[in-house]
């Protein structure tokens, strides 16, 4: 194929129920490697340390036990890492399935991101894959101690007010709730950005 020839996108297909030994082998105790895990920033990385925890809920409100959640975030300086696992101890990239926790939670250990550019409030990009989802979904997680930055954020402003209940940014003061809004966003305000 010549480099100038335009090509059409390869269709997406569901990740299915059996991804664990392929994409998250270490987490699920299968043999084999895993490109990244729940540790997005190790203890050497300076900055406010946070834990992002939550569940993926289906349309009936039941926690999904076979979802895969990936996050991609900037560091405290607002810059994205060049490599998934660079020398700095900060990858910015996390991947975890919801099938090893009794309550189907995912959990990431990281540092709070800084603002990416002047307009954007600190946020974490979230990608959700699961059986029953033929194409993955993207959303963002914001922080509720960034009220003024959130008010200016052009992406957060796109979420219709009718879905305001699903816009509530995460509360860093209560770690266990910090990403629990993600599933609701999945059902109501997943971004199309990447879509």
Partner 1 sequence: MSARSAADRDWDSHPPLLWPDYKSTALRAPQQPLVKIARGLSELTGPAYGGPPLTELDRDLTRNGRRNGEPLGERIIVTGRVLDETGAPVPNTLVEIWQANAAGRYVHVADQHDAPLDPNFVGAGRCLTDADGVYRFLTVKPGAYSWRNHPNAWRPNHIHFSLLGPAIASRLVTQMYFPGDPLLAFDPIFLGVPVAARERLIARFSLEATQPEYALGFLFDIVLRGAQGTLMETPFES
User: Taking CB under 8 A as the criterion, which residues in 36-95 touch partner 1?
Assistant: 36, 58-60, 62, 64, 66, 70, 72, 74, 80-86, 91-93
- Residues that bind partner 1 (rule: CB under 8 A) add up to a total of 84
For residue 134, state whether it binds partner 1 (rule: CB under 8 A): yes
Residue 154 near partner 1 by CB under 8 A: yes
Nearer to partner 1, 23 or 50 (CB): 23
**Judged by CB under 8 A, does residue 148 bind partner 1?**
no
Considering the rule CB under 8 A, would residue 98 count as an interface residue with partner 1? no
C-alpha to C-alpha distance for 185 and 140, rounded to whole angstroms: 9
Q: Which is nearer to partner 1, 119 or 145 (CB)?
A: 119
Q: In which residue are the tokens 């979802």 written?
A: 67
- Is 104 a residue that touches partner 1 (CB under 8 A)? no
Q: Can residue 161 be called a binding residue for partner 1 (CB under 8 A)?
A: no
65-81 in b/e burial notation, b at 16+ Cβ within 10 A? bbbbbbbbbbbbeeeeb
Residue 118 interacts with partner 1 (CB under 8 A): yes or no: yes
């Amino acid at each position: 194929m010549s480099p100038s020839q335009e090509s059409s996108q390869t269709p997406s297909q569901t990740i299915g129920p059996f991804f664990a030994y392929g994409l998250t082998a270490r987490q699920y105790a299968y043999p084999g490697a895993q490109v990244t895990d729940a540790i997005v920033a190790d203890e050497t990385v300076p900055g406010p340390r946070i834990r992002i925890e939550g569940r993926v809920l289906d349309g009936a409100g039941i926690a999904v036990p076979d979802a895969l959640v990936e996050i991609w975030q900037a560091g405290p300086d607002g810059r994205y890492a060049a490599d998934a696992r660079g020398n700095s101890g900060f990858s910015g990239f996390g991947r975890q399935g919801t099938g090893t926790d009794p309550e189907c939670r995912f959990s990431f250990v990281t540092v709070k991101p800084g603002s990416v550019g002047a307009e954007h409030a600190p946020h974490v990009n979230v990608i959700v894959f699961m059986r029953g989802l033929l194409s993955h979904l993207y959303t963002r997680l914001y922080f509720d101690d960034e009220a003024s930055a959130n008010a200016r954020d052009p992406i957060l402003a796109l979420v219709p007010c009718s879905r305001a209940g699903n816009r509530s940014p995460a509360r860093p003061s209560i770690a266990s709730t910090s990403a629990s809004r993600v599933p609701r966003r999945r059902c109501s305000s997943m971004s199309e950005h990447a879509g």
